[in-house]
Amino acid sequence: MELAKLIDIARDEDSAEEFLRKKGILKTFTQCPYCGNKHFGKVRRNVYKCYRCKREWSVRKGSIFEKTKVSFSKFLMALKLFELEVPVLRAFKELGLSYNTVHKLFTLIREHIYRATSKDNLLSGEVEADESYFGGRRKGDRGRGARNKVPVFGILERNGKVKVEVVKDVKAETLLRETIKKVKRGSIIYTDKFRSYDGLVMYGFRHERIDHSKRFANGKVWYRRILELC
């Protein structure tokens, strides 16, 4: 999503909440989550109440927002900065939030990506693989081997599912092991020219090297699906 359109959506809490609900990020309640009664209503801005069991719950219940009080508008902007690989040290200044708050938000996003992509079956067909780096309070080298950053490996099934994994390093042994665990043998895997992918053919995959800047989205293949709302 273009930044100008995102800013328009995040202009106030109501429009941001509506957008997140349409995307399925926020739950749409049709009954009380405690007793199942369908007779309930909003009693305060962000609070529902069941008229049978008298219990109340937040509009954030059952979503990734349940453990945070950050506004929906700020979250949308934080998500965009995360997608653009803006470091926490800069993002918290742009958002007007504390460093710890933004760090927790970025961690929450990573955890959500992991949970959303770690339970699927093997990917197959045409698959793209790429590695990237996140985090780090202090500045480190850019690109592969970045100091103070966490290496993350992502695999995208074209027009299908995605999987992402935090890895200890981006050596051939690590990336090949993760690929074998997540991709069906015989699939076509597209990567850039990084030498850690050299052994894919030996493990039963068809391997094609492509122009990283033309095929991969922002250097992180999983963003096309998990973060497509931004």
pLDDT at 55: 95
Can you tell me the distance from the alpha carbon of 172 to that of 200, in angstroms, rounded to the nearest whole number?
Answer: 9
pLDDT tens string 139-196: 554 455 556 678 888 888 887 788 888 888 899 989 998 999 889 888 999 988 888 9
Q: Looking at the structure, give the CATH architecture of the domain made up of residues 121-226.
A: 2-Layer Sandwich (3.30)
Helices 88-95 and 72-83: crossing angle in degrees, nearest 10, is 150
pLDDT grade for 56, boundaries at 50, 70 and 90: very high
pTM: 0.53
User: Distances from the Cα of 230 to the Cαs of 51, 64, 133, 204, 223, in angstroms?
Assistant: 37, 16, 20, 36, 9
Please report, for the chain, the start and end positions of each structural domain, with discontinuous segments joined by +.
1-10+69-117, 121-226
Q: Which tokens is 73 given?
A: 């508008």
Can you tell me the distance from the alpha carbon of 110 to that of 88, in angstroms, rounded to the nearest whole number?
Answer: 13
Q: Which tokens is 206 given?
A: 């068809």
pLDDT tens string 100-143: 999 988 888 877 776 665 555 788 899 999 888 776 555 554 45
Pairing of strands 188-191, 206-209: parallel
pLDDT at 10: 86
pLDDT tens string 39-50: 999 998 889 999
